[in-house]
Amino acid sequence: MPDARLTRVATCVRAARSVVAMTGAGISAESGVPTFRGSAGLWRSFSPSDLATPEAFARDPRLVWEWYRWRRDLIRVAHPNPGHLVLARFEKNLPQFQLVTQNVDGLHQRAGSHTLIELHGNIWRARCAAGCGRLTEEPGQGCLAGPGGAPAVDPPACACGSLLRPDVVWFGEALDPRHITRAIEAARVCDVLLVVGTSAVVYPAAALPRIARQGGALVVELNIEDTPLTAEADVVLRGPAADVLPALEALA
Ligand code: OAD
Ligand code: ZN
């Protein structure tokens, strides 16, 4: 028999005019992409201040690029999982659906999501570190090999003579105001907010559940464990996103 909480959320999703899903690293966990926090999280073995700040890049761009290239390697061999696929189908099948992700891995797009808001950028893009405006997009393969197939160890250069940097948001940097404004507006007017696989500690993304709740939405947390959001959520669904989202879709 289906879980009563799952049935409640499915009923609300079915009746909603507008549904928003906000995702974090947990949705890609079952695709084999490491999360940031938790026992096997990246921030257990790596220091954000050495790798994910503008100061780190200014100090040692080669080290920062090495780390991002390593992460691209992990993501390149990963595939979207059933959780990503459900959210792509929600975009197609629900009357109004907005996906907001903190992930930079591009797995939502590979699953078929088109209109998502990427709050923290995308690891497959690079942009000029000096701000000349150049943006490059890696297709997701082949970017590790330099000329002759040797690993590319030098940070990529921009045509203006400066360096390219990963087009992601680092600690201490502001989010693109267009993206966060759209996300806040979507959260404000939605009827259901699904918060999937995020530790809900990094702002401003972590503020979206409260904004949705103030606007009258049902806030649903889907996570394998408790987070600071758990106590505030209207419904908590425990379990891996790759299992719970298909179960929800089947009832919705
Ligand atoms: P975290 O690594 O902080 O949190 C991942 C969350 O996913 C945790 O709450 C886990 O319990 C949960 N989780 C793990 N596996 C899951 C599964 N199979 N199904 C459902 N939930 C699962 O990742 P984020 O919350 O995305 O920012 O982190 C937010 C931001 O902090 C990231 O975007 C990144 C990071 O530093 C920047 O780099 C700017
Ligand atoms: Zn440039």
Residue 178 phi/psi, 5-degree rounding, is -65, -40
> Is the same domain home to 22 and 41?
no
Cα angle, residue 35 at apex, residues 150 and 111 outer, rounded to 5°: 75
Q: Does residue 230 sit in the same domain as residue 151?
A: no
* Number of domains the chain contains: 2
**pLDDT band per the 50, 70, 90 thresholds, residue 40:** confident
Shared domain check, 250 and 189: yes
Residue nearest to atom 29 of ligand 1 (CA): 202
Instruction: Say whether both 130 and 207 belong to one domain.
Output: no
Return the residue whose CA atom lies nearest to atom 33 of ligand 1: 102
Say if residue 146 is in the same domain as residue 244: no
Q: Cα separation of 67 and 82, whole Å?
A: 28
* Cα–Cα distance measured from residue 146 to residue 4, given in angstroms and rounded to the nearest whole number: 54
Residue 225 Cβ contacting ligand 1 at under 6 Å: yes
Same domain, 198 and 97: yes
pLDDT in tens, 103-142: 999 999 999 999 999 999 999 999 999 999 999 987 544 4
pTM, whole model, 2 decimals? 0.94
CB count within 10 Å of CB 203 equals 9
* Binding site membership of 81 for ligand 1 (Cβ less than 6 Å): no
Same domain? 100 vs 146? no
Q: What is the pLDDT of residues 138-175, one digit of tens each?
A: 754 444 444 444 455 789 999 999 999 999 999 999 99
Residue 193 CB–ligand 1 contact under 6 Å: no
Domain residue limits at 71: 34-77+123-168
Whether 56 and 18 map to the same domain: the answer is no
Q: Whose CA is nearest to atom 25 of ligand 1?
A: 198
Q: Look at residue 113 in the predicted model and tell me its pLDDT.
A: 98
CATH of the domain at 41: 3.30.1600.10
- Pick the atom of ligand 1 nearest to 225's CA: 11
Same-domain pairing of 249 and 138: no
H helices of the chain, in order, are: 4-15, 26-29, 42-45, 48-51, 54-59, 61-76, 82-93, 107-111, 177-189, 208-214, 241-251
Active site residues: 120
As a residue count, the chain comes to: 252
Does residue 16 sit in the same domain as residue 64? no
Same domain, 142 and 69: yes
Separation between Cα atoms, residue 150 and residue 188, nearest integer Å: 49
25 and 100 belong to one structural domain: yes
Measured between alpha carbons, how far is 250 from 9 in angstroms, rounded to an integer? Answer: 12
Domain end marker among 168, 199, 233: 168
Q: How many CA atoms lie within 13 A of 205 on its CB side?
A: 28
Can you give the CATH number for the domain in which 213 is found?
Answer: 3.40.50.1220
Between CA 68 and CA 215 the distance in angstroms is: 38
Q: What DSSP character marks residue 211?
A: H
Quote the pLDDT of residue 1: 61
